[in-house]
Amino acid sequence: MHDLVITGGVVHDGLGSPGAPVDVAIEAGRVVGVGKHVGPARRTIAAEGRFVAPGFVDAHSHSDALPLMTEPQPFKLLQGVTTEVVGNCGFSVAPLDEVSARYVDDAWGDLLPGVSALPGSFADYLDRVEAAGPTNNIAPMVGHGTLRLTANGTRRDLSDDALATMCALAEEAFRAGAAGLSTGLIYVPATYADTDEIVAIARIAARWGRPYATHIRDEGERLGEALEEALEIGRRSAAKVQVSHCKAFGPENKGKSTLLLNTLHRARAEGIDVRGDQYPYTASSTFLVTLLPSEASEGGVEELKARCADPEVLRRQLTPGSWGPTTAEDTVIIAHADASTVGRTVADVADTRSLDPFAAVCALIAEDPGAMVVEHGMHDDDVVAIMRDPLIGVGSDNGAPLGMQHPRTWGCFPEFFGRFVRERGIIPWEEAIRKATSSTARQFGLQHRGTLQPGSIADICVFDPETIAHPGSYTEPDVTPVGIHHVVLGGTVVVDHGEFAGVRAGDVLRAGSS
């Protein structure tokens, strides 16, 4: 007697094979049979008219601390996502010491409501998340930004022993099971790092067989140079490279998806194992402070606030590529201590305050250094070209599912399947499912995940290809997706007839222990 069978659906293996009308049998958390007449079970899910696919694997998540919240946060499960790779863009929430933990809380105004950053090793963080019980699986990477913050504060130049400290902390994180090394080279203090510094740490990742995932230094004007740096790091360290949230940003950079894709394919031909991920939207989202020159944040949050009080000095330090490709009309504030600014463009706030846009940005950061924005700056042609490339997987780049966020937080995967696969026919279903499952699982070494075949861990999404969608928008993003009927996590039904079952059944996936 099986624990669970899913009958009558069209089963996708996650490897890109065409769907097949077969049943799936699950026992002790694993898929034990895929075929006709798999036998009886204690529970049957009838999946007529639906697709039965591996649970989606989110290549690019920022859910690191969400499992620590009092209430479970099922927003990913409700999209069919069973595993998230977290710790992206150089931001992991460990390792931290007293000083760096305080900085993180000051800069972000606490990690999350009710959750502050805690000093501790990477292993401590994994234990803490495991004890809390995540709602879905998480595979955490260690962030270079966090390593640098802990080893060297927010200073630009490294102290004598800082790189050795970063390497030792990275080694410890990989031993504990970190899924990879990430960088976010537009953020302070990571942006102060030169290529050699990152190569030194990426070599440790490579020795442990873990990938290097990077939010590159520039996604617009200097996209080509920024990609070359990522590839140089891959070449010199021998780590696999994952280019995070691939895009060509800013109206002047329309068409640069060709440069991006050609560069990735050329690098693969040269022997560098590089891939990428993407969220299916023409707007990005990040901290408002990234629009300032990197000098602004040197020394800490109080120094940043003081510099923002005198925008003229900062204005002279502006380089093309930071403020450059963004327009005040296309930048919308989505999180700020002054709630009256949320949902409005920088241009609009500047107008109300009789300031020019740059001065308004400085004033907004002085009031709330953790302010966040959505920036409308990509062309649909580039989004689609990147999506069509087989090297690119799906990664949401979500924020916390609280307040106003980019709709990708609640809707990335249903938006991808509903809008781009069903409505627009950009890629076939089986290829889209592969991009959302095995493609990412393989890149991050997630064994027995992202596939649906005998022996796979029973992480499964049952969805309706005719209705899957995210009805949210930029102005009303926090809407539950439709068309996701059942989600199974390690054999446990965690989304049942579209409703979260209330259980915290996720695992912390430690690399190197299966």
- Interface residues with Zn ion (CB under 5 A) are 89, 215
Q: Which is nearer to Zn ion, 6 or 181 (CB)?
A: 181
Alpha-carbon distance 109 to 302, whole Å? 13
Shortest Cβ 89–Zn ion spacing (Å): 3
Nearer to Zn ion, 89 or 107 (CB): 89
Token duo for residue 117: 């950053």
Nearest Cα to Cα of residue 415 among 456, 360, 361, 468? 468
Shortest gap between Cβ of 147 and Zn ion (angstroms)? 16
**Among all chains, which residue has been given the structure tokens 């009092």?**
70
Kindly state the smallest distance separating residue 104's Cβ from Zn ion, in Å.
17
Burial class (CB in 10 A: 0-12, 13-18, 19+), 36: exposed
Nearest to 362 by CA among 493, 138, 371: 371
Question: Residue 130 CA to chain centroid, in angstroms?
Answer: 20
- Phi/psi of residue 351, nearest 5 degrees: -60, -50
Q: How far is the CB of 255 from Zn ion (least distance, A)?
A: 22
Residue with smaller CB distance to Zn ion, 216 or 365: 216
> To the nearest whole angstrom, how small is the minimum distance from the Cβ of residue 28 to Zn ion?
38
Closer CB to Zn ion, 12 or 215, in the complex? 215
Residues belonging to the chain = 514
Residues in Cβ contact with 444 at an 8 Å cutoff, skipping those fewer than 6 apart: 57, 59, 85, 139, 179, 180, 211, 242
Nearer to Zn ion, 256 or 486 (CB): 256
Cβ distance to Zn ion smaller for residue 285 or 456: 285
Residue placing its CB nearer to Zn ion in the complex, 219 or 459? 219
- How near is the Cβ of 70 to Zn ion at its closest, in Å? 27
Q: Which is nearer to Zn ion, 215 or 307 (CB)?
A: 215
Closer residue to Zn ion, CB minimum distance, 242 or 480:
242
Q: How near is the Cβ of 219 to Zn ion at its closest, in Å?
A: 9
Among candidates 137, 136, 154, 158, which has minimal Cα distance to 145? 154
Q: How far is the CB of 187 from Zn ion (least distance, A)?
A: 8
Q: How far apart are CA 313 and CA 302, in angstroms?
A: 16
**Separation in Å, CA 13 to CA 48, 49, 432, 433, 492:** 17, 17, 12, 9, 19
Distance CA 137, CA 82 (A): 6
Q: Smallest Cα–Cα separation from 139: which of 500, 447, 405?
A: 447
CB of 325 to Zn ion, least distance (A): 16
Contact 79, 414 (CB under 8 A): yes
Work out how close the CB of 218 gets to Zn ion at its nearest, in angstroms, rounded to a whole number: 12
- State both tokens at 119: 């000093």
DSSP state of 101: H
CB 153 within 8 A of CB 99: yes
* CB of 184 vs Zn ion, minimal distance in Å: 5
| Pick 242 or 451: Cβ nearer Zn ion | 242
Nearer to Zn ion, 89 or 333 (CB): 89
Give the Å distances, CA to CA, from 298 to 88, 165, 189, 289.
Answer: 22, 20, 8, 12
